[in-house]
Amino acid sequence: MDTPPYLPGHGLLAGRTAVVTAAAGAGIGGATARRFLEEGARVVIGDAHARRLKETAHALADAFGPDRVTHLACDVTDEEQVAALFAHAENAHGGLDIVVNNAGLGGTAELTEMTDDQWTRILDVTLNGTFRCTRAALRSLKAAGTGGVLVNNASVVGWRAQRGQAHYAAAKAGVMALTRCAAVEAADYGVRVNAVAPSLAMHPHLAKVTSAELLAELTAKEAFGRYAEPWEVANVIVFLASGYSSYMTGEVVPVSSQHA
């Protein structure tokens, strides 16, 4: 099946301020930042890769205007950097409305060969990093008292077993559980928390860390016979960030065409 046409924006996020983590480059985070801008939002992007972050921010500013795009390097394993990112959003735009926790780290290792360092590194970026950013976001949104939305990036491997992915699957299952618990607490002050769970979205980093054989195997499992484009995942994130999902919280939405 061919990739469908790219959809234009419809102003779904007009006037809102969004923070997107791991937004450098051409992955889901970068695609989400672009889609948010196309929907009328102001965007603050963070990433641990300072050079690529700066390049991405400049490209987006050229396309949408420098007043709508700001950036700050942020490693989500560092609490001080996380706090600085959210303080930057508040200082630059007077507050925030939407947070997309996209930062995550993958890898492949059989359990019998997996080291403590491999396990801990994946969990610290993917699960603990989402926790740190969720905590910072909810503190800010609770204090503001004006509602808001969080969208976390999980994965179908949080539900489905995949060889060599025990650390990543455990982290993403944790993101799902964190999403549900955060949603129950945040409902008290009008904040919604949901997650997306993509199956296979192709971007340059994934191609670098995944073998061609594994990518072919994963693609074969998709009903459409192709991987998702990052912007197709970003479209669902836009939906969850917008008023069209106003009665949804604590949900994990698959972005997948995998066979049942």
Catalytic residues: 168
Parallel, antiparallel, or unpaired: how do β-strands 69-73 and 17-20 relate?
unpaired
Which among 160, 184, 163 is positioned nearest to 173, based on CA atoms?
160
Q: Locate 87 and state its tokens.
A: 């303080």
CA distance from start to end of the chain: 18
In sequence order, which residues have a C-beta less than 8 Å from that of residue 158 and are 6 or more positions away? 169, 172, 173, 174, 175, 176, 197, 252
DSSP symbols for 224-251: TSSPBPHHHHHHHHHHHHSGGGTT--S-
> What is the rounded radius of gyration, in angstroms, for the C-alpha atoms of the chain?
17
CA 164 to the chain's CA centroid: 22
In sequence order, which residues have a C-beta less than 8 Å from that of residue 14 and are 6 or more positions away? 39, 40, 41
Alpha helix stretches (DSSP H) within 39-155: 50-64, 79-93, 116-123, 129-144
Q: Locate 237 and state its tokens.
A: 């994130």
